Chains A and B, each alone.
Chain A
């Protein structure tokens, strides 16, 4: 009898606990891949649950606009690139909860011998008047890059793939260091065939993925926001310290979504992403943080001086502080 009573007591306790868990939806900016490993692990290892959050992950894709989804209330938080937010006209409606990727992974990959295999491309200036495919959503940093080097290429839209580049229909294409660049290598392209313009190295170093919410959410659900950020960053730290386990979880997400990604590629992506989340000792920033200086620099690269939201309004204290 006593045992039954104890059982009922614990059942009620746990029911009360789960009833109290705050439902939270996170929309990702792309399909499942290692880019979001930290969130998978926070969910997997119960870090969200520990913060009393009931998190649902919504995968992104070509036709998913995460910012619109949180603005329309279809999700509570999203991950997306800082430049994507700042490039929008409704940018003032969003706040940055945490700057997760602090290092730019954008590259421009060119055929060393050009599309026709004769005219060589070695320096940014060689790209002038060349056919370059660009992602529509990521144009600001590329255009900043072109401006910086005074180049005027022929721009062709780039969508899902770099197939036009592969078929030598373009001289250069956009590539994330952690994703497309490695895919090219997996398609048999060799480094010696390619010239890679790494934006991080070339000084167009925009911080990338951040966790965003609409300002309203942040104002009204401050503790939930803080808890979500805390658990998410804990997930990233776990991913850093348990890569094999993390990779297994990533591959599970990939396979469940029937995505054509292979394990070596996801491994490359995980390693590269983690380098952008956790800085090398002398990088001058701490994980999750977006300093005012870097914010100003990003605004400057994107050519938004004057129309940008105020640092204090846009970057929440958590992101100003970063991870301690």
Chain B
């Protein structure tokens, strides 16, 4: 019921249920076939019945007409005999009465009979004698209005036509009924001397027609020679209408045409059948008719088509009912068949659902079927078993892979662990700015870099790239790097070290791996760089204006062949110049359009870098390369090492000693939290009071905000360096920036009377800083503002040795 009330829901339900669809399909198909058969049957039966009925009723109408004709003929014969007798007998009342009695007794159909003498026979003693049946008796009278009778058709027509005539029906006042009359003239010496008649009452005719076989099936119809309606189921038309008056009085043109067609057909044919639309109705009727030759009347039977077709319609209804019952009965086997098909499927569906949840133990439908369902069950079972073994296999391999991956990640940590990663690496060497990074394309890579101080003043550094990738390359790199470092420490000469290491590696190098490598030793006192190259990309030397590759003598990579010659080259590293070492992961980085980053782009990038720290250079370059790659996967390890040595920059605050701690921030307000983090780290280390930390934080924040907000006119990134020395009695802080010159010590006291907008830059902040500090100094050095702040400590601070930030 719910389904019936919601059609869209029921459709959805049917769509979801194979069982229902199957059942509906079987039922629907069966119903359609049954319907088609019933329809075909009905139409055929209908046609056949109409044909049969047409033949049957037409024959019946003809035979009825014939019988009717016979009846009239019998009446006619009696009169004809009487006429013949009368002409031979004396024309007197006695003869007439005798004849009338004879006529009525000879034929029971005759209602009455008259003998009318033509004029001028007064001797006969009567004019018109009329006898008729009254119950079982016969009565006779002299007609009351003989003049009128002489003018009536029954006398007038035979008298003038001199032949017998059947009249049209008429109402006779003396008999008090509608009747038709047969009148025969009695001719004597070429004169009509009398007319003898017999009357048949219309009621009697109707009764005798109804006794005929056809009368029991349909409504008898009697039409006179001139279309006058003598008998008709609609008694109000009788004696009043003709076929043509009916047509004339039709309600519409269509009915008129129908009636005229019926009239024409009826007049033209002896017998036949007609199908026509009933005037004023939508239904059809059949008219079967035959002719009565004596009167030229038409005798017909009107039968509505629905009456003829009633048996077919009844049969049709019964057939449909039986078919419906059959279809309903079919529902039971359809249900079972559908259930037999869908039940195992439903079990399979449940099993599949549980399988999806990881349950391999769900029961399957009973085995043993050999049809498609049986095969499906077997296939499902097979699939489940395969899936089970596949999953256990997968679990095992996954565990192995995870193990490898974890080993690889450990290897990566070890590999990265052997690379120096503390920056700035040598804070005691002010002026030395070195930064390096390695980004592996895979878990472990074959790139390497290294640097260390060989003694007080000599810096060793190198960069290299092992052929191949992955674990083998990383092992080879570890060996090469370690070997080279120890060799350089021993030999203190790049070319010799390379020669030595090459031979070491080339020996027994069955894997045919090799390392391209550049290494150098920088003398920090003289800025002299001694370097040697083993097939590696030339490093770039760049400063504010220029960038160029280092001049290199080509030598083969390490481990490629024993006894390869390597030569030292020398160069004095200019102050402010930087040296960038890189591996081919940079120049061969590829974008989705398959373009290489290339050396030109590298040089252009480095030229475009203004004063940057090594770390800034490296991180900017990595960013630039990543942008160029546009998300393309990194195919090779990228390793960068950047260094510069700006001689020994005198430190205004530190008296040449390295600071306790150093913080570099960029000119961005988002960097300020780093200041807090830095100071909190120092508080722990240096055991500062909360007040002190708060004060220093405020001073530095005020100054940094001042610098960030006003010192720089461009959009470039600038670095602000904060160095801090903890002495026994004082705290010394030096802040450097390369912005516009600004001397806080020369600032006048702010006019507190002015409004906020009218006050000069930073006035209040500077006042606060000056008042909070014990000493504030300013210097402009090499395009940089150097501000030194001194804060005396009430409780002696714990002076620490130089420490890394």
Q: Which residues in A have some Cβ–Cβ distance to B below 8 Å?
A: 62-63, 156-157, 159-161, 163-164, 166-167, 169-170, 185-188, 258, 260-265
B240/A262 in contact, CB under 8 A: yes
A164/B160 in contact, CB under 8 A: yes
B249/A163 in contact, CB under 8 A: no
In the complex, what residues of B have CB within 8 A of residue A157's CB?
A: 151
Judged by a CB distance under 8 angstroms, whether B168 is at the interface is: yes
Nearest CB of chain B from residue A73's CB, rounded to whole Å = 24
Q: How far is the CA of A186 from the CA of B145 in the complex (A)?
A: 30
A161/B248 in contact, CB under 8 A: no
Q: How far is the CA of A83 from the CA of B145 in the complex (A)?
A: 27
Judged by a CB distance under 8 angstroms, whether B245 is at the interface is: yes
Q: How far is the CA of A161 from the CA of B153 in the complex (A)?
A: 8
Judged by a CB distance under 8 angstroms, whether B242 is at the interface is: yes
| Cβ 8 A contact of A188, one of B171, B239, B241, B263 | B263
Nearest CB of chain A from residue B78's CB, rounded to whole Å = 23
B244/A169 in contact, CB under 8 A: no
A188/B160 in contact, CB under 8 A: no
B157/A186 in contact, CB under 8 A: no
Nearest CB of chain A from residue B404's CB, rounded to whole Å = 112
| Cβ 8 A contact of A163, one of B156, B239, B241 | B156
B160/A262 in contact, CB under 8 A: no
Nearest CB of chain B from residue A106's CB, rounded to whole Å = 20
Q: How far is the CA of A94 from the CA of B227 in the complex (A)?
A: 43
Q: How far is the CA of A188 from the CA of B268 in the complex (A)?
A: 12
Judged by a CB distance under 8 angstroms, whether B653 is at the interface is: no
A163/B153 in contact, CB under 8 A: yes
Q: How far is the CA of A163 from the CA of B240 in the complex (A)?
A: 16
In the complex, what residues of A have CB within 8 A of residue B156's CB?
A: 159, 163-164
Q: How far is the CA of A159 from the CA of B154 in the complex (A)?
A: 12
Q: How far is the CA of A185 from the CA of B228 in the complex (A)?
A: 12
Judged by a CB distance under 8 angstroms, whether B243 is at the interface is: yes
Nearest CB of chain B from residue A64's CB, rounded to whole Å = 12
A260/B239 in contact, CB under 8 A: yes
B242/A187 in contact, CB under 8 A: yes
Q: How far is the CA of A160 from the CA of B161 in the complex (A)?
A: 17
Chain A minimum-CB-distance residue to B243 = A188
List residues 225-257 of chain B with CB under 8 A from any CB of chain A.
226-228, 239-245, 248-249
Judged by a CB distance under 8 angstroms, whether B148 is at the interface is: yes
A187/B244 in contact, CB under 8 A: yes
Judged by a CB distance under 8 angstroms, whether B267 is at the interface is: yes
Nearest CB of chain A from residue B695's CB, rounded to whole Å = 123
Q: How far is the CA of A81 from the CA of B534 in the complex (A)?
A: 155
Q: What are 18 A-to-B residue pairs whose CB atoms are below 8 Å? A: A62-B148, A161-B153, A163-B156, A163-B167, A163-B168, A164-B160, A167-B161, A167-B165, A169-B161, A187-B226, A187-B227, A188-B226, A188-B242, A260-B171, A260-B239, A262-B242, A262-B249, A263-B249
Q: How far is the CA of A167 from the CA of B227 in the complex (A)?
A: 13
A265/B245 in contact, CB under 8 A: yes
Centre residue among B147, B167, B249 by max chain A CB count within 10 A: B249
Q: How far is the CA of A269 from the CA of B17 in the complex (A)?
A: 78
In the complex, what residues of A have CB within 8 A of residue B263's CB?
A: 188
The 5 closest A-B pairs by CB, nearest first: A159-B151, A264-B248, A187-B226, A264-B249, A188-B227
Q: How far is the CA of A179 from the CA of B153 in the complex (A)?
A: 19
Centre residue among B145, B228, B244 by max chain A CB count within 10 A: B244
Centre residue among B152, B227, B241 by max chain A CB count within 10 A: B241
Q: How far is the CA of A187 from the CA of B156 in the complex (A)?
A: 19
Chain A minimum-CB-distance residue to B165 = A167
Nearest CB of chain B from residue A14's CB, rounded to whole Å = 39
Q: How far is the CA of A167 from the CA of B161 in the complex (A)?
A: 8
Nearest CB of chain B from residue A24's CB, rounded to whole Å = 29
A187/B241 in contact, CB under 8 A: no
A260/B249 in contact, CB under 8 A: no
In the complex, what residues of B have CB within 8 A of residue A185's CB?
A: 244
List residues 469-520 of chain B with CB under 8 A from any CB of chain A.
none
A188/B151 in contact, CB under 8 A: no
B267/A188 in contact, CB under 8 A: yes
B151/A186 in contact, CB under 8 A: no
With A187-B226, A188-B242, A265-B245 already in contact, the answer to whether A160 and B152 are too (CB < 8 A) is yes
Nearest CB of chain B from residue A201's CB, rounded to whole Å = 24
In the complex, what residues of A have CB within 8 A of residue B227's CB?
A: 186-188
Q: How far is the CA of A185 from the CA of B245 in the complex (A)?
A: 9
Q: How far is the CA of A62 from the CA of B168 in the complex (A)?
A: 19
B157/A63 in contact, CB under 8 A: no
B151/A264 in contact, CB under 8 A: no
B245/A164 in contact, CB under 8 A: no
12 more CB-based (< 8 A) A-B contacts, given A169-B157, A188-B227, A188-B243 = A161-B153, A164-B157, A164-B161, A166-B226, A167-B165, A170-B160, A187-B226, A187-B242, A188-B263, A262-B240, A262-B249, A264-B248
Q: How far is the CA of A260 from the CA of B171 in the complex (A)?
A: 10
In the complex, what residues of B have CB within 8 A of residue A265's CB?
A: 245
List residues 151-188 of chain B with CB under 8 A from any CB of chain A.
151-153, 156-157, 160-161, 165, 167-168, 171
Chain B minimum-CB-distance residue to A161 = B153
Nearest CB of chain A from residue B168's CB, rounded to whole Å = 7
Centre residue among B145, B161, B227, B245 by max chain A CB count within 10 A: B245
Chain A minimum-CB-distance residue to B153 = A163
A186/B244 in contact, CB under 8 A: yes
With A63-B148, A160-B152, A262-B240 already in contact, the answer to whether A186 and B161 are too (CB < 8 A) is no
Chain A minimum-CB-distance residue to B169 = A260
In the complex, what residues of A have CB within 8 A of residue B161's CB?
A: 164, 167, 169
B245/A264 in contact, CB under 8 A: yes
In the complex, what residues of B have CB within 8 A of residue A261's CB?
A: 240
Nearest CB of chain B from residue A117's CB, rounded to whole Å = 16
| Cβ 8 A contact of B160, one of A156, A186, A258 | A156
In the complex, what residues of B have CB within 8 A of residue A187's CB?
A: 226-228, 242, 244
In the complex, what residues of B have CB within 8 A of residue A160's CB?
A: 151-153
B242/A186 in contact, CB under 8 A: yes
Q: How far is the CA of A161 from the CA of B167 in the complex (A)?
A: 12
In the complex, what residues of A have CB within 8 A of residue B240's CB?
A: 260-262
A262/B148 in contact, CB under 8 A: no
A188/B152 in contact, CB under 8 A: no
Q: How far is the CA of A264 from the CA of B259 in the complex (A)?
A: 14
In the complex, what residues of A have CB within 8 A of residue B147's CB?
A: 63
With A160-B152, A166-B226 already in contact, the answer to whether A262 and B241 are too (CB < 8 A) is yes
Chain B minimum-CB-distance residue to A169 = B161
In the complex, what residues of A have CB within 8 A of residue B245's CB?
A: 186, 262, 264-265
